[in-house]
Structure 1
Amino acid sequence: MSDHVVVVGGGPGGYEAALVAAQLGAQVTVVDTDGVGGSAVLTDCVPSKTLIATAELMTDVEGANELGVMIGADGVRVDLARVNQRVKTLAQAQSEDIARRLAKEGVEVVEGRGSLAGPDRVLVERAGGAEQILRADAVLVATGAAPRTSSDAQPDGERILTWEQVYDLDEVPSSLIVVGSGVTGAELASGYLSLGIPVTLVSSRDRVLPGEDADAARVLEEVLTRRGMTVLSRSRMASVTRNAETVTVTLTDGRAVEGSHCILAIGSVPKTADLGLEEAGVALDDGGFVKVDRVSRTSARGVYAAGDCTGVLMLASVAAMQGRIAMWHFLGDAVTPLDLKTVSSNVFTAPEIATVGWSQQAIDAGEIEAESVTLPLSGNARAKMQGVHDGFVKLFCRPGTGIIVGGVVVGPRASELIHPVSLAVAESLTADQLAQAFTVYPSMSGSVAEAARRLHRFRA
């Protein structure tokens, strides 16, 4: 009889694990509450990047005159209701595509809330109160995370919003306040600014994107302020209140910022409460995240975890890889433990910021010895043709061997341009090997090869 795997949560960590387990011959049941695809597909990644796709078009229109395309005196306006309808339609379609794939592979999807009734049993609470126990040879917990809120800043779903609630907006905000300058806050602030909405970004740190490459964050902040965004650095929110159509964000220093709408982007909390995890022997950290090792094992035998509920690195790609690794490990397939130094990530702002491997911060701290080169995109022929003035390619390599250990790309479609650097990091390619691969002329990717050439050292 084949092993029975029960996956609790249908997001990237859950459905990718289910597909791998089914491929390897296991009987698989996914217990899901909110819809296949999870928040990544239905309320977070897919919706936000769909909205940002519209914002990118608006950004291109802003620079049309420079390319000889003249826009009328009335300019271009956005129909936010239509944008959000498209966002939700595409998200639902993606969820349905995933559900069809699971069904095709023989994965059973059970609608209901799943919790652990022991390390080898999952309790399913269905709508209407019916309950069911599923026995499992292995359980994967992939319940994700939810937007963090504050007792002094309670969302109302109308004018004080979490990032999951913005897609119900029909009216264009007359002025928007975004609280939080991490990835989510920066992406939404940049996106709505591109849609022509006045934006104020409240950042408790000394710069936007404090967790990203400092040079990249500096470029982004310069671009955002040049395009009209107000960035309040070293400003911490004390409370958010609403009076009719006005939202007021009060800061801890006593200042008050008013707008028509406010988006709270102040972090995430894991969905791990009341799931029977600790009773089943699954250890959580102080923040409530599930503790896992590099093959996604928890402290309970036969119980794995993947995705945002682990707090390892909150990316859909990492969640998916954690889920796959868990199933490869449990079912005895060849498995390589998760290596965060090969993870590529992207901030979908305008310009985008993509990174992979070791960071400038780690190099400056002496965690690894590396040489670096930074090449501005302003000298790239294709960038000039497209009217791109901001951005750069930065590469890090080991002295002596020249092996590429990390990189940063800032510019349009940086998420695509980072791929050759990701391959170089994953396969331990040298700067010379990266430089000697042909690139198209003219192309943005030519700057990646040129940066690698500048890392060349004569070796007799």
Structure 2
Amino acid sequence: MIEAANPVQKIRARDPGGGAFEPGVAVIEGLPQTAPADEHNRRLVDNVHPPDWVNPTAVGRYNLVVIGAGTAGLVAAAGAAGLGAKVALIERDLMGGDCLNVGCVPSKALIRCARAVAEARNAAGFGVAMPPEVSVDFPAVMQRMRRLRAGISPHDSAMRFAGLGVDVFLGTGRFTGPQTIDVDGQTLHFARACIATGARAAALPIPGLAECGFLTNETLFSLTRLPERLAIIGAGPIGCEMAQTFARFGARVTLLEAGAQILGREDADAAQRVEAALVRDRVDIRCSANITSVTRHGHEKIIAFNGGESIHADAILLGVGRAPNVEGLGLEQAGVEYGVREGVKVDDRLRTSNRRIFAAGDVCSRYKFTHTADFLARIVIQNALFFGRSRASALTVPWCTYTDPEIAHVGLYEHDAEEKGIPVTTTTVEMSDVDRAILEGETEGFLKVHLRRGTDRILGATLVDRHAGEMISEITLAMVAGRGLGTIARTIHPYPTRAEIIRKAGDAYNRTRLTPFVRRLFQRVLKLRR
């Protein structure tokens, strides 16, 4: 635990810039994601940034030095060390990166609690009597999240990676030359390096926003009190997930989006299904919202938009994308080209402009997902250490937005195929045609599968369902293995399951093969066999 020589530092656990959420303490000063300083966050810090950690003494040259201990960095370091490489891993803040500390893990913990609330409120439809009002103990919800996060943290801990043979340095790493990195006064020499510093919440230059203060994913999960009114700017995955979650907890949520629809990158039909679900959960959605200013009156924040409309909120959550962490790394000294918006520039083999230095994860990829960072790191191991020629473009990347229902997607959208000049046929199956979904009262979803016209080759698919993220991998596997929708049609699926919707799409494809000519031919053959 935290020792007396490393006292707990006090900071304000609030929405930065002045809000009014309770004063709190953080285990590490300047890292609000470690607030409040309860037993769970102390345990988290003990694992992912031990206060008594002593950096090793760098000796000799490393096969691989990794800057950043998020998903990409951890996978690269562990994989390389497991193959016998001499590896150093550098982390400035918390090992585990965004995913463990302020991303996937805490958000999905809250989403599960919110689903429990929704199930309780809808229990009457299943013949289960519940009290008239279902209450939410928000501090208990957040405590559960912190407990589970701390329980997962040993997997990403400094001690575990040291046990794997990795030299773990907790401090700020900065390139000082094409083959050297400084870490708090020590110089590390390397044969190869990997930049895996990830990304952070992007900001918007809205007049008054910074002065009034706002939450991001880096501060949201330190809340100990539920805002009565929450305004969310940006209806991308983070915005939509948290809008529904906090609305289910009892907050009055307004979701502001500059575009014409929520989840603007997703299939329009899929986004409409999710929008209907959010509206049912009493999320006030305002699309085509041009925000002009944010002002404050006491603890109340006022968002002005569209030349006269306004929203009053107790807290503002900003969820408008991610910005790569490229500042302060000494990339110029290393001869690594980068942009403040696009991140570190890499080729298809993840090599930077300095061929001894690679990059992986959110700092260089447009696919800012944990699972993508994992597989990009595997490419770095192959190409950096073993003269491999693996290419990032060869990856088939699925993703999921964890609203209720979820949207999962893999491959091309229909408009992508058309822009590439690929003739496409789309097969659509409604979840209302799936018996298990009917029995569970969850029929609002659908599956779209895009095929190369005249074949069963899968170009892409979009799935909307409460468990879409669990189901999309069957289609991803078929695409990676080069198998078509016809193969899925021949695959027996247990009945009744929701995954039958994928097999039904295969059946729908098979029916398209029964052309009028083939039907007439079958009729003649069958007539002869009577």
2:142 corresponding residue in structure 1: 84
In the TM superposition, what is the alpha-carbon distance from 1:25 to its structure 2 partner? 1.2
Answer yes or no: is 1:321 the counterpart of 2:375: yes
2:54 corresponding residue in structure 1: none
2:504 corresponding residue in structure 1: 450
Answer yes or no: is 1:368 the counterpart of 2:422: yes
Indicate if the aligned counterparts of 2:399 and 2:408 stay in contact, CA closer than 8 A. yes
CA shift digits 1:206-257 (9 cap, x unpaired)? 0000011111111111221233211111002223333223121122523211
List structure 1 runs of 4+ shifted beyond 6 angstroms: none
In the TM superposition, what is the alpha-carbon distance from 1:3 to its structure 2 partner? 5.0
CA shift digits 1:373-424 (9 cap, x unpaired)? 1111112111111110311111112223311121111011111010101111
2:446 corresponding residue in structure 1: 392
Structure 1, unmatched stretches of 5+, are: 126-130
In the TM superposition, what is the alpha-carbon distance from 1:55 to its structure 2 partner? 1.4
1:128 corresponding residue in structure 2: none
**Which of 19, 24, 45 in structure 1 is aligned with 2:78?**
19
Question: Could you tell me how far apart the structure 2 residues matched to 1:149 and 1:405 are?
Answer: 35
RMSD across aligned positions (CA): 2.0
In the TM superposition, what is the alpha-carbon distance from 1:161 to its structure 2 partner? 0.9
Answer yes or no: is 1:28 the counterpart of 2:87: yes
**Which of 326, 345, 351 in structure 1 is aligned with 2:405?**
351
In the TM superposition, what is the alpha-carbon distance from 1:265 to its structure 2 partner? 0.9
One-letter identity of the residue aligned with 1:415: G
Answer yes or no: is 1:226 the counterpart of 2:280: yes
Indicate if the aligned counterparts of 2:61 and 2:189 stay in contact, CA closer than 8 A. no
Q: How does 1:73-222 map to 2 (within 5 A)?
A: 73-74=132-133, 76-99=134-157, 100-125=159-184, 131-151=185-205, 152=207, 154=209, 160-222=214-276
Answer yes or no: is 1:421 the counterpart of 2:480: no
Question: Could you tell me how far apart the structure 1 residues matched to 2:109 and 2:209 are?
Answer: 26
User: SS at the partner of 2:329?
Assistant: coil
Question: Could you tell me how far apart the structure 2 residues matched to 1:60 and 1:367 are?
Answer: 45
In the TM superposition, what is the alpha-carbon distance from 1:335 to its structure 2 partner? 5.3
Indicate if the aligned counterparts of 1:270 and 1:310 stay in contact, CA closer than 8 A. yes
One-letter identity of the residue aligned with 2:513: F
Determine what percentage of the aligned residue pairs are the same residue: 31
Indicate if the aligned counterparts of 2:72 and 2:374 stay in contact, CA closer than 8 A. yes
Question: Could you tell me how far apart the structure 1 residues matched to 2:350 and 2:232 are?
Answer: 34
Question: Could you tell me how far apart the structure 2 residues matched to 1:153 and 1:317 are?
Answer: 36
In the TM superposition, what is the alpha-carbon distance from 1:113 to its structure 2 partner? 0.7
Question: Could you tell me how far apart the structure 2 residues matched to 1:238 and 1:40 are?
Answer: 32
Question: Could you tell me how far apart the structure 1 residues matched to 2:208 and 2:407 are?
Answer: 30
In the TM superposition, what is the alpha-carbon distance from 1:333 to its structure 2 partner? 6.4
Answer yes or no: is 1:312 the counterpart of 2:354: no
Over alpha carbons, which structure has the higher Rg?
2
Answer yes or no: is 1:330 the counterpart of 2:378: no
Question: Could you tell me how far apart the structure 2 residues matched to 1:366 and 1:271 are?
Answer: 32
Compute the TM-score of the two structures, normalised by the length of structure 1. 0.93
Alpha carbons of 1:259 and 1:286: their partners in 2 closer, same or farther (altered >3 Å)?
closer
Structure 2, unmatched stretches of 5+, are: 1-59, 519-530
One-letter identity of the residue aligned with 1:55: A
CA shift digits 1:104-142 (9 cap, x unpaired)? 3211211001111112111112xxxxx111111111111
Question: Could you tell me how far apart the structure 2 residues matched to 1:154 and 1:88 are?
Answer: 29
Question: Could you tell me how far apart the structure 2 residues matched to 1:341 and 1:371 are?
Answer: 23
Question: Could you tell me how far apart the structure 1 residues matched to 2:387 and 2:139 are?
Answer: 48
Indicate if the aligned counterparts of 2:91 and 2:169 stay in contact, CA closer than 8 A. yes
Compute the TM-score of the two structures, normalised by the length of structure 2. 0.81
Say how many residue pairs are matched.
Answer: 453
CA shift digits 1:173-209 (9 cap, x unpaired)? 2121100011111111122122232211000000000
**Which of 40, 44, 67 in structure 2 is aligned with 1:8?**
67
In the TM superposition, what is the alpha-carbon distance from 1:447 to its structure 2 partner? 0.7
Question: Could you tell me how far apart the structure 2 residues matched to 1:418 and 1:153 are?
Answer: 42
Indicate if the aligned counterparts of 2:228 and 2:250 stay in contact, CA closer than 8 A. no
One-letter identity of the residue aligned with 1:408: T
